[in-house]
Structure 1
Amino acid sequence: MAFTFLTTLIFCILVPLSLFIFTKSKTTSKTSTKLPKSYPIFGSFFAIVKNRDRFVQWSSEIVISTPNLTFPLHRGRGHWIIYTANPANVQHLLKDNFHNYEKGNFFKVNLRDFLGDGIFNSDGQTWKFQRQVASHEFNTKSLRKFVVNVVDSELSERLIPILRKAAVEKTVIDFQDILQRFAFDNICKIAFGYDPGYLSASLPKEKFAVAFEMAVKLSTERFISFTPLIWKIKKAINVGSEKQLKIAIGEIHTFAKKIIREKKQELEHKSSLESVDLLSRFLSSGHSDEDFITDIVISFILAGRDTTSAALTWFFWLLSDRGEVENEILREINGTSEASSVYDEVKDMVYTHATICESMRLYPPVPTDSKEAIGDDVLPDGTAVKKGMRVLYHPYAMGRVEKVWGKDWAEFRPTRWLERAAGVDGKWSFVNRDSFTYPVFQAGPRICLGKEMAFLQMKRVIAGVLQQFRVVAAAETEPVYVADMTAKMKGGFPVRIEERN
């Protein structure tokens, strides 16, 4: 007991010291892709701290350099994580041996205050029940119609006017912020039937949105903490970041329950559920427990808040200096029949679909994800997994594996997803990749329920924006890819907007 306390004390003292040392001694030399050194007690802690600002890239470089695309990382004090970019391992993890791998205590402990037992923070029967309820609702045509109406309204009434104003005034705007606001309004309308007006012309600091942003930021800090004991102590005595987190989560839950009560009253006078939000659907299907509904709806807001905006941000950056790709997308958009339905229109945007997939291959919205083993196991490549160990699969690295994507893997080439159909017209047809080689939307039983909804939203935004404007990157340097729960551009995405003739 005394040894454990002493070890923890030493670790807590050396962590801030190490952070100071590595902050002060920056280097421009290329990071080695050799397996990091591991020391007794501390493991590879020092290498992790040194590369903390580019951890996704660093771990990607290492895993790609290994023969079986897998390596174990000792994070200190006996905690090991297995990193893998091996599709066979991913299939084993997410499908073949699904029941041996759960979200696990690491996720649950870090996110329980924020997400409770919501679908993205639960396992077993709790997860299965929520998945069944949500799956039924996501597969209804009326919900898809509602999503289209929400996206088109936000696009025409808010996003397009803001871009037109920026074009006329020739101002530089942060397109990442604009797209995040757009996505937040969308997902709140879809999930709650509530419009926060976050993308209103004044770009307000809407209270619910600010609280949500704060909760995500501070929950992420728990994940990257090298000594979880510190945040747990701060929570116990209610100080610092944990006090801020408690306030933010309190505001979110208070607001959510207020909306739920109002929605219950509204539904008592509603005769039809045609084209209504997810909250109304859950309540009308007999699920009235406020805590259950709050957890599941907040989980969906978290899932939809930054993923589509992150994907679109990197998409528009990649497009900004690739005129030939942009022109091909415009030809496809302009060739769509005005008489076609929304679903036919989106289905026919094959080249645009390929471009989105190629963008997410290089810059996935969620660069890594992990599961925890509930029993001893051996991965298909022979890697041993002990009970309680986390296995992390790495979509960012998997999009950079040469033997999967070819020697030109670093090139942004949408046609790698396409082939020309036989015949005179020679139209493109989409060539899909299996979800274990390209797990951007997860795979297996936990595959993203909102995948088709996300593609629908992104294509509608791309078509709506590109028909009227060119998005020109204002900075000449490549943006820095950073990740908390989702990927972002460090410092935002400054752009100039130009109207098309």
Structure 2
Amino acid sequence: MEDKTLSSVYPSLYEFPMTITMFVCMVIPAWFIIHRWNQRNEKGPKTWPLLGASIEQFLNYDRMHDWLVEYFSVTKTVKVPMPFTSYTYIADPANVEHVLKTNFANYPKGETYHSYMEVLLGDGIFNSDGEHWRRQRKTASLEFASRNLKEFSTIVFREYALKLSSILGQASLDNKEVDMQELLMRLTLDSICKVGFGVEIGTLAPHLPNNSFAKSFDTAQIIVTLRFINPLWRIKKFFNVGSEALLDQSIKTIDDFTYSVIRKRKAEIKEARATNENDNKLDATQQPQLSHGLST
């Protein structure tokens, strides 16, 4: 009797949860439908409320480049909204010039980009903004403006281009299929290491040998890039599992190679300076004897 009286006096106490449930069941589907309807003429990835384009992006996780190229065939600028940010991919030369040259200051990399790429790029010119970037840019521009570097680079690039041409020629004679992406990666890596470090790593040798540094660098590049579409990477990093564990191994290989090159170059410079000092001392001791001989 008491329950009946209570329900008759306060019917809203019993009806309210049901009203909320009906409201949610009606509004949320309508929200989704309206959201998707408003995108019917958009050329980029279709999004969902709160989730952005994350669902479509995860479905294409293993074919990211092909997925983007499909959109680039329709539009040269692709915007990919994500739950907490959005990414814009551009393939229009005018837009690329706008971002990288004309209005470069308006497009900082930002903290998110820096935190994702720091493990591979550190605070270098490709991962810094503002005054830090300008100082490195000034130093790099002076180095690359050097006539000796330009001449050396030309010789190196020509040498490795001939090696690539030889490999392709032999593959053609053998009617053998080649992976051009891998060959171009080897060409770039060999050239940069020769010009930047003065080291011959030989990945473009005719038999295309395995190179732990080259493989690790390529792996690290892929993993840090995929961080932008994988929100779970921080969890994997915390527990050091999966791709993040592989990234740690790759970075160690890269560091070992890089620091060994640095130590080798320092030793060579030290040896060259010592040789020059000895030559100068020798010249200094021989000069008085030569003068004495001439005077007599």
Which deviations, in whole Å up to 9, do the C-alpha atoms of 1:215-271 show, x marking residues without a partner? 11222221232x2xx111111121121111011101111221121122112123447
Q: In 1, Cα distance between the equivalents of 2:141 and 2:57?
A: 39
SS in 2 for 1:165: helix
Seen in structure 2, the aligned counterparts of structure 1 residues 55 and 106 have a Cα distance that, compared at 3 Å, is farther
User: Are 2:220 and 2:247, in contact at CA under 8 Å, matched by a contact in 1?
Assistant: yes
1:74, CA displacement in angstroms?
2.9
Higher RCO, Cα 8 Å, sep 6+: 1
1:495 counterpart residue number: none
Aligned match for 1:42, one of 26, 51, 62: 51
1:129 alignment counterpart? 135
Cα offset, 1:87, TM superposition: 7.9
Aligned to 1:114: 120
Q: Which whole-Å deviations, capped at 9, do the CAs of 1:374-413 have from their partners, x for residues lacking one?
A: xxxxxxxxxxxxxxxxxxxxxxxxxxxxxxxxxxxxxxxx
- Measure how far apart 1:205 and its partner are: 0.6
Structure 1 residue corresponding to 2:67, chosen from 55, 74, 78: 55
Give me the CA root mean square deviation: 3.1
CA spacing shift, 1:221–1:144, aligned 2, 3 Å = same
Shift of 1:82: 5.5
Say if 2:140 is the partner of 1:142: no
Q: Matches of 1:234 and 1:146 in 2, distance apart?
A: 43
- Code of the aligned partner of 1:183: T
Query: In the alignment, which residue of structure 1 is the partner of 2:254?
Result: 252
Residue 180 of structure 1 aligns to a residue whose secondary structure is helix
Contact 1:63 1:83 in 2 (8 A): no
1:235 alignment partner in structure 2: 237
> Greater strand percent: which structure?
1
Within 1, Cα distance between the matches of 2:67 and 2:172? 37
Matched ranges for 1:179-258 at <5 A: 179-225=184-230, 227=231, 230-258=232-260
Change over 3 Å in CA distance of 1:129–1:169 after alignment to 2:
same
* Structure 2 CA distance for partners of 1:45 and 1:180, relative to 1, 3 Å: closer
Distance 2:42 2:262 in 1: 50
Contact 1:33 1:58 (C-alpha < 8 Å) held by counterparts: no
CA distance in 1, matches of 2:109, 2:191: 27
Task: Find the structure with the greater CA-based Rg.
Answer: 2
**1:179: how far off?**
2.9
Deviations 1:320-377 (A, max 9, x none): xxxxxxxxxxxxxxxxxxxxxxxxxxxxxxxxxxxxxxxxxxxxxxxxxxxxxxxxxx
Asked whether the equivalents of residues 188 and 196 of structure 1 are also in contact (C-alpha less than 8 Å), the reply is yes
Unaligned residue ranges in structure 1 (runs of 5+): 1-30, 65-69, 272-501
Deviation track 1:267-320 (CA, whole Å, cap 9, x = no partner) reads 23447xxxxxxxxxxxxxxxxxxxxxxxxxxxxxxxxxxxxxxxxxxxxxxxxx
Percent of residue pairs identical: 37
Matches of 2:83 and 2:119 in 1, distance apart?
A: 26
Tell me if the contact between 1:33 and 1:61 (Cα under 8 Å) persists in the aligned partners: no
Letter in 1 for 2:234: K
Using the TM superposition, give the Cα deviation of residue 110 of structure 1 relative to its aligned residue in structure 2, in angstroms. Answer: 1.2
Equivalent pairs counted in the alignment come to 231
How high is the TM-score relative to the length of structure 2? 0.66
Letter of the 1:55 partner, please give it.
W
